[in-house]
């Protein structure tokens, strides 16, 4: 059953998404999953086929790999929240278009504003370049790629938000290059956990009452 007509999506940032072709052609809007009170927010690129069907991010092969990667560093979806740059699946999983990023990221920024994460982990090139460009889509193409910036924390200020950005390899990329990328991902995640500890929280917040990110 599709969530596209949900009354929970009646706000300006969602209307931007609903006005586009991606929304008209998708099965579900993919908002996010995990612990919305966590200190760590993961941001990927866009939903794929399985995510579109289920209405949740990272439920396909990349999602299963993310589960394993989190487990390897002692974390789970109880400890993080994950969302995407795009809320709807692009046709054939093609790369996001500039106008789609402009339409979908206000919703993502609304989520960040409500969640107030201490660390944002960008997964792969598109998410990383979006944050490095401070949300300026026209400047994304001039930003460095994930290979040169992964695991390097930096303070980011954009749209009144301030957080520590730590770029990570995308779990889908790691599937195809496990030998090289898995150790790098695990090293980078130790940096993420250290950043959380330095901000005064050894354990990621866990609460029963969860805020809605709409």
- Whether residue 77 is contained in a domain is answered as yes
Q: What single-letter DSSP state applies at residue 95?
A: P
Q: What are phi and psi of 42, to 5 degrees?
A: -95, 135
pLDDT at 197: 83
pLDDT digits (tens, 9 = 90+) for 127-144: 999 999 999 999 999 999
- DSSP reduced 3-state for 34: strand
Instruction: Say whether pLDDT at 210 is over 70.
Output: no
- Whether residue 175 is contained in a domain is answered as yes
pLDDT digits (tens, 9 = 90+) for 61-92: 888 889 988 888 888 899 999 999 999 999 99
Instruction: Say whether pLDDT at 205 is over 50.
Output: no
Instruction: Say whether pLDDT at 207 is over 50.
Output: no
Higher pLDDT, 199 or 43: 43
- Whether residue 207 is contained in a domain is answered as no
pLDDT digits (tens, 9 = 90+) for 22-45: 999 999 999 999 999 999 999 999
pLDDT at 206: 41
Q: List the single range of 41-50, 122-131, 185-194 with lowest mean pLDDT.
A: 185-194
Instruction: Say whether pLDDT at 190 is over 70.
Output: yes
- Whether residue 214 is contained in a domain is answered as no
Choose among 197, 23, 36: nearest CA to 116: 36
* C-alpha distances in Å from residue 24, one per residue of 86, 123, 192, 198: 14, 26, 37, 44
- Whether residue 118 is contained in a domain is answered as yes
Contact call for residues 149 and 128 (beta carbons, < 8 A): yes
CATH number of the domain enclosing 65 = 3.40.470.10
Instruction: Say whether pLDDT at 202 is over 60.
Output: no
Q: What does the pLDDT average to over 118-125?
A: 95
Stretch (H or E) spanning 61: helix 61-72
CA 35 – CA 138 distance, rounded (Å): 32
Say what the pTM is: 0.90
pLDDT at 204: 40
- Whether residue 211 is contained in a domain is answered as no
pLDDT at 199: 63
Structure tokens at 20: 């586009």
Q: What single-letter DSSP state applies at residue 196?
A: H
Q: What does the pLDDT average to over 156-173?
A: 93
Q: What does the pLDDT average to over 163-183?
A: 93
Instruction: Say whether pLDDT at 93 is over 70.
Output: yes
- Whether residue 10 is contained in a domain is answered as no
Q: What are phi and psi of 82, to 5 degrees?
A: -130, 135
pLDDT at 208: 37
- Domain with 36, as residue range(s), is 30-198
Q: What single-letter DSSP state applies at residue 168?
A: B
- Whether residue 192 is contained in a domain is answered as yes
CA 131 – CA 136 distance, rounded (Å): 8
Cα dihedral across residues 119, 123, 127, 132: positive or negative:
positive
Contact call for residues 30 and 48 (beta carbons, < 8 A): no
Mean pLDDT score of the chain? 91
State the total domains in the chain. 1
């Amino acid at each position: 059953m599709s969530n596209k007509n949900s009354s929970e999506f009646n706000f300006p940032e969602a209307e931007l998404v609903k006005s586009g072709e991606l929304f008209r052609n998708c099965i579900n809007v993919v908002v996010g999953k995990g612990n919305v009170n966590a200190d760590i927010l993961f941001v990927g690129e866009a939903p794929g086929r399985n995510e579109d069907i289920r209405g949740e991010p990272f439920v396909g092969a990349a999602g299963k790999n993310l589960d394993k990667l989190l487990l390897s560093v002692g974390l789970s979806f109880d400890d993080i929240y994950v969302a995407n740059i795009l809320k709807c699946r692009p046709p054939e999983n093609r790369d996001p278009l500039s106008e789609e990023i402009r339409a979908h990221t206000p919703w993502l920024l609304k989520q960040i504003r409500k969640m107030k994460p201490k660390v944002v982990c960008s997964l792969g090139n598109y998410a990383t370049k979006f944050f490095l460009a401070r949300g300026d889509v026209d400047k994304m193409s001039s930003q460095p790629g994930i290979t040169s910036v992964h695991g390097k924390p930096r303070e980011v200020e954009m749209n009144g938000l301030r957080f520590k950005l730590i770029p990570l390899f995308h779990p889908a990329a790691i599937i195809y290059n496990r030998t090289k990328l898995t150790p790098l991902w695990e090293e980078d995640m130790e940096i993420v956990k250290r950043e959380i500890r330095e901000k005064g929280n050894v354990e990621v917040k866990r609460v029963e009452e969860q805020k809605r990110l709409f």
